[in-house]
Structure 1
Amino acid sequence: MALAALSRQLGAALQPQRPTDRLQQRAGASRPATPCRRQARRLLCSAQLAAEQSSKLDIDWDSLGFGLQHVGATMFMASCSAADGKWSAGELQPYGPLPMYPSAQALNYGQAVFEGMKAQRSAKDRIVLFRPEANAERMAEGAARLSMCPPPKELFLEAVCKTVEANSDFVPPQGKGSLYLRPLLLGSGPILGLGPAPSYTLVVYCASVGSYFKGGQLTPIDLIVETRFHRSAPGGMGGTKCAGNYSPVLVTQLAAKKEGYSDVVYLDAKTDTYLEEVSSCNIFVVKGKTIRTPPLQGTILPGVTRRSIIELARSRGYTVEEVPVSVDEAMQADEIFTTGTAVVVSPVGSLTYQGERRQFGEPGQPGPVALELYDQLTGLQQEKLADPFGWVHPVC
C-alpha cells in the first residue's frame, strides 16, 4: 500500500547517521539532500495515523451526508515551476495541511481553480469514474483563464485514479453514496506584486459522501429567485470553476436558507430577466417534451453533468434547447430540475419570484422527467445500464 511505502521511506530518513556519514560531514563531503528531520517525523506520524484510520474504518453508509466527516486518508500532490512549465511526477501522501507561504499567490490574488468528481462502486463490482477527461479539460481551460500552468491531462487522470485506488476503502457500497474527489490547482508560489505565481501545486483529496441536499436525493428543493445580487456578468469569470466564484454567493444563499429555501437562482446581469444558474448547479426548465437550459455564454459554468444530461435527454427523444430562459417562462413550466456533480439531478419543488410561489407537481415528489433522467444517468454511472457514450472510466 502507498501508506506503508511512505512510512518505510520516512522511517529510513529518521535512522541515526552511520559513523561514515558523520566522518564525511566533518570532512566537508556532500551528502544527498534529505527532508528536514522534524518534518520527516511529522509526516511519519501522519502516515501512521492515516494507516490506522484506514484499518479502523467504520462508516455508517446509510447515514452519509455531504461533508468531510469521512475524508480519505491519502491525497495526491504534484508541483510545477512556471519558469519551465514542467510538472513533477507527483506522489501520494497522507491527507493533511499544505505547506504554503502567507505570500502564496492563491492566498493574496486568488489564483485557484478546482474540480468536483465522483468515484462509485458499480454493478459490475468495480470502482469507476464518470467522464474524468471532461474535468481535466475544464481545469485546463480555467487555468488558461487565470494564467496558470495547467496540469497535463495524463497527470490529472493519473492523480485522480491513484487517489481513488489509495482510498478504495472509502468508496461506499454500490448505491450507498460515492467517493467525492476534489482536484485543486493552486498558485502556491510566493509573490508580492500582482502577477502569476512562480510555481503551482496540484492536489487531489477525497471524502465519502451521500446526498448534497439535507432532504436526501430526489427530494424536491425549494428555490427563490435572487433580484438584488448577480453571480456573474458578461466578460467576467462566471464560466470558470475558480475559487473566487463561490464565496460571493454565500450572502444570498445563507439568507435564503434562513427563510426556508434550499438555494438561490440568479438572473442575468444585463436585464434581470433570464435565469442563469443556481449557486452551485445548472438549471433546466421542462415544458412538454421540450427541455430548455441557459446557454454557455461565459456567465455560467459548463457543467459536466449538464452536458451529459443534454446528450442523454436528446438520445431519449426530448428536444433540448440551449437558449435564454426567462423567469416568467420558468414560472409557467411543467417541471424544473437542477444538475451538478454533487447534486446529480435534483428536482425543484417550488420556485418563488417577487413573493409569488409556484409549486411544481405533487409536494415531496420528483417530476417525471427529472426522475427519468436521474434513473438513466445514475444507472449508466453505476454500470446498471449499458454505456453507449463511453462515459464510464474503470479505475480498479
Structure 2
Amino acid sequence: MTKTINIDWGKLGFTYTKTDFRYISKWKDGNWDDGKLVEDNNLSISEGSTALHYGQQCFEGLKAYATKDGKIQLFRPDQNSKRLNNSCRRLLMPEFPEERFIDACIQVVKANKAFVPPYGSGATLYLRPFVIGVGDNLGVKPAAEYIFCVFCSPVGPYFKGGMAPVNFMISDYDRAAPYGTGAAKVGGNYAGSLLPHEVAVKKGFADCIYLDPATHTKIEEVGAANFFGITKDDKFITPKSPSILPSITKYSLMHVAKEYLGLQVEEGDVFVDKLDMFKEAGACGTAAVITPIGGIEYKENLHVFHSETEVGPITKKLYDTLCGIQFGDVHAPEGWIVEVK
C-alpha cells in the first residue's frame, strides 16, 4: 500500500519538512559502520563534538526529480560525493565511499517516496548529506568519531510566480581567505556570509557579491552561488579561483552552453570594472538552478545587464535545458542521471 500525504505542492517554499526516514552511518576506530535508515530526526551528540566548537563539518545539497513517465531520478550524485570528500579531506575528516554515498541517497528517496513531489508541480525532493565530527573532545584536533547522514525534504520552486531578475551589490566583506576553505562546502563559509547578506537585504538587494579576497578586483561568488555572464559575442564566462566553491550546477551549465547551445565557454577572471562586456548575467546553484541578475551595484552605480524585469533569452534557454535534463524531458549526457529503482 502506497502512503499518501497531505501536502499542497504548489505552496511549498524552500523550507524544512520532516520526512519519515533518514540514513545514518557512524565512523569509529577507523571504519564506517554498515549504516541504516532511522525515523528519529534528532541527533544525540557529545557536548565536546568538534562540529560544535571547531567547525569540523561539511555538507552537500542535491535533488530527486519525478519524471513525466513516473520515474524518480537523481542528478549527478557522483559529483556531490566527490565534492563532499574534497571537503572532508580539507577538514581532516574520513571520506565516505562514493558508491555508498549514492546508495544512501537512493535508500532515503525510496524510503520517503510519498514525499517526492509529482512531475509538473515545480517542486522537488531536496537531499542534504553531511558529515560532522562528534565524540568527547576538548582540544583543537580532529575528532575520533564522525557521523554521516542524509536527510530529505520536499521543497518548492525557488521562484514563486516565475523566474525574474534580481539586483545584487558588491560586498566589502570577504567570503573566504585566499588559501582558506572557500573551495570546500563547510558551514563556516555560510556562517560568515549571514551578516553581509543581511546588510545587502537591508539596502534593498537580493544578496551581495563577493570579490576575490586577495585583490578585491574580480567577482568570485554571488551570495551562496556561482556567477556566470553572457558576453555580447555569446560567450559563457564564469570565474575561476581556488577560493570559489566548485558548483555542480555551474559545470553542468558550462556543458549545456557548449554542447546544447553552441556557445563558447571560458572559465577565468571576471573583473568587476569590466561588467559592460556582459549582456546577460546570472547566479547558479542547486536551489534555484539559475537566479538571473538584473543589475549589480558597484561604487554606488547600478550596472544593468539585459533588464531588471525580463530574463535574457540565453539565460532562459540555459535554465530550460538544464531543468529539462533534470526532469527527464531533455536527453541527458551519459552518466548524469541515476534512476531510483
TM range (shorter): over 0.9
Once the two structures are overlaid, the 10-residue window that deviates more, 321-330 or 382-391, is 382-391
Pairing partner for 2:27 from 80, 84, 95: 80
**Deviation per CA, 1:146-186, whole angstroms, max 9, x where unpaired?**
00011111221111111111111111111321000000101
Question: What runs of 5+ residues in structure 2 fail to find an aligned partner?
Answer: none
CA distance in 2, matches of 1:217, 1:102: 44
* 1:326 matched to 2:274: no
SS at 2:32 equivalent: coil
Tell me what 1:97 maps to: 42
Q: Name the residue aligned to 1:50.
A: none
C-alpha contact 2:73 2:339 (8 A) present in aligned 1 = yes
- What CA distance in whole angstroms lies between the structure 2 residues aligned with 1:237 and 1:392? 29
Q: Does 1:191 align with 2:137?
A: yes
* 8 Å Cα contact 1:115/1:183 also seen in 2: yes
* Greater Cα radius of gyration, structure 1 or 2: 1
Provide the rounded CA distance (Å) in 2 between the counterparts of 1:257 and 1:216: 20
TM-score by length of 2: 0.95
| 2:299 maps to 1:351 | no
1:312 corresponding residue in structure 2: 256
Match of 1:51 in 2: none
- Tell me the SS of whatever aligns to 1:334: strand
Q: Who is 1:391 aligned against?
A: 336
- Equivalent residue for 2:54, pick from 106, 109, 116: 109
Matches within 5 A, 1:206-221: 206-212=152-158, 215-221=160-166
User: How many angstroms does 1:278 deviate by?
Assistant: 1.3
Distance 1:273 1:172 in 2: 43
> Of 60, 65, 77, which aligns to 2:8?
60
What's 1:12 paired with?
none
Q: Tell me which residue corresponds to 1:291.
A: 236
Aligned with 1:125: secondary structure?
A: coil
Percent of residue pairs identical: 36
Cα distance in 2 for partners of 1:239, 1:363 equals 31
Letter in 1 for 2:136: P
SS at match of 1:301: coil
Deviations 1:57-111 (A, max 9, x none): 211111111011x232211100111x32x11111111142101011011111111
**Match for residue 233 of structure 1?**
177
Amino acid at match of 1:63: K
Whether the 8 Å contact between 1:331 and 1:351 is mirrored in structure 2 is no
Q: Pick from 367, 379, 385 the counterpart of residue 324 of structure 2.
A: 379
* TM-score, normalisation: structure 1: 0.82
- Structure 1 unaligned spans of 5+: 2-53
Instruction: Find out whether 1:281 has 2:229 as its counterpart.
Output: no
Instruction: State the alpha-carbon separation in 2 of the partners of residues 208 and 222 from structure 1.
Output: 28
Corresponding residue of 1:43: none
Q: Give matches, 1:112-131, under 5 Å.
A: 112-131=57-76
Q: CA deviation at 1:56?
A: 6.2
Equivalent of 1:153 in 87, 92, 98? 98
Q: What is the count of residue pairs matched by the alignment?
A: 338
Q: Is the strand fraction higher in 1 or 2?
A: 2
